[in-house]
Each structure stands twice: as C-alpha cells, then as structure tokens.
Amino acid sequence: MDVLNIYACFGKLEVMELGEEKEMMYEKIMNSLDDTENFALKLASLLEAQDTITLEGDLGAGKTTFTKALAKGLGVTRTVNSPTFTIVKQYEGRLPFNHLDVYRLAESDEDLGWDELFYGDAVSVVEWAHLIEQDLPQERLGIEIYRIGENQRRFVVTPLGKRYEALCEELMK
C-alpha cells in the first residue's frame, strides 16, 4: 500500500487505499461437515445463471465437498467428483452447472473457451481459481476455506461486484 487514506467517522476507523473501493469480507465458522453442506445448500438456493464462485484452500480443505453439496442444491442428480484430470465437468440441474478444478493448469496456456463457460447459462464453480485469475469474470463470489480442526473450517467470503454483495447480504443472514 503506498498512499493511505485514514479517517475516523463516529468512532469507526476505516482504512482504505486511495482510488480503490474497500473490499467487503465475511467470515463464517463451520463446526461440522453438516454446517458446510447447509451453507452450500443455502448458497445454491440464491444462485442465478452466470454466477461464478471461486474456491481457494489447501489440499483437503473442503473445496470439492462444498461443491458437491452446492451441486445437490442446484438439483444436480449425477455424482459430482473432483474433475482434476478433466479440468471441466458439466452437469444438468435447476441451472446447468460447470465444475472446474484448474489445479493441473499451472504450467499450461491451454484455451478452454473460458468465456463460453463463464458467460453462458450455467453456474460455475472453480477450484484453485487463482491459477486462472486472468480468465475469471471480474464480478464473482470468492470463498477461501481454512482448516482449523478435524471437522472445523473457517470460510472467508468476498463478494466482487454489486450482484454478489447483495447475494452475500442474504447468504450471511
């Protein structure tokens, strides 16, 4: 951060970089697998065509577990497996559903027709999304998952864009 704009308003201290919007962030602790699945189901109920969700977190954090519950909430009846070796899998549900796991794309410049995936009628979930940062829609819902215990996870949810800010208001109620 080079230039800081620090001001106090009615006792609330806000720090932001000049010229940049303040990033909103929400945190939620999942105490069990059930908590994670219920959170995914709630998110699924709020999703619309073209929504994009990015998932970050170490191996075994729970990205695929979360995705499976989300798919179930979207009415996907086929089994959702980690698409690590195929990178993209597409499913039918209440809305079409794209599951991407780009872990193995780190060394590749392959054009996978990202725009068709992200700007079609489907909901897209991307595991390890930072590896294709350039190709992601600017507006999206970012979810970071941190393992804090055997069955406990810390979720940090960042909405990028007005649509996702509104979605978060509902999601975090």
C-alpha to C-alpha distance for 173 and 102, rounded to whole angstroms: 31
Q: Residue 82 Cβ, how far from ligand ATP at the closest point, in Å?
A: 5
C-alpha to C-alpha distance for 125 and 149, rounded to whole angstroms: 25
> What does DSSP assign to residue 23?
P
- Assign residue 46 a region (left: φ > 0; alpha: ψ between -120 and 50; beta: otherwise): alpha
Question: What does 60 interact with, of Mg ion, ligand ATP, none (CB < 5 to 8 A by kind)?
Answer: ligand ATP
Question: What's the gap between Cα 103 and its chain centre?
Answer: 15
Task: Choose between 64 and 98: whose C-beta lies nearer to ligand ATP.
Answer: 64
Task: Choose between 44 and 168: whose C-beta lies nearer to Mg ion.
Answer: 44
Of 63, 74, 99, 168, the residue at the interface with ligand ATP (CB under 6 A) is: 63
- Assign residue 128 a region (left: φ > 0; alpha: ψ between -120 and 50; beta: otherwise): left
Task: Choose between 36 and 124: whose C-beta lies nearer to ligand ATP.
Answer: 36
Question: What's the gap between Cα 55 and its chain centre?
Answer: 4
Q: Which residues bind Mg ion (CB under 5 A)?
A: 63-64, 82
Angle between helix axes 33-46 and 63-73 (nearest 10 degrees) is: 50
Question: What does 65 interact with, of ligand ATP, Mg ion, none (CB < 5 to 8 A by kind)?
Answer: ligand ATP
Query: Interface mask (CB under 6 A) for ligand ATP, residues 19-58, using x and -?
Result: -----------x-xx-xx--------------------x-
Q: Residue 64 Cβ, how far from ligand ATP at the closest point, in Å?
A: 3
C-alpha to C-alpha distance for 137 and 50, rounded to whole angstroms: 10
Residues in contact with ligand ATP by the rule CB under 6 A:
30, 32-33, 35-36, 57, 59-65, 82, 151, 153
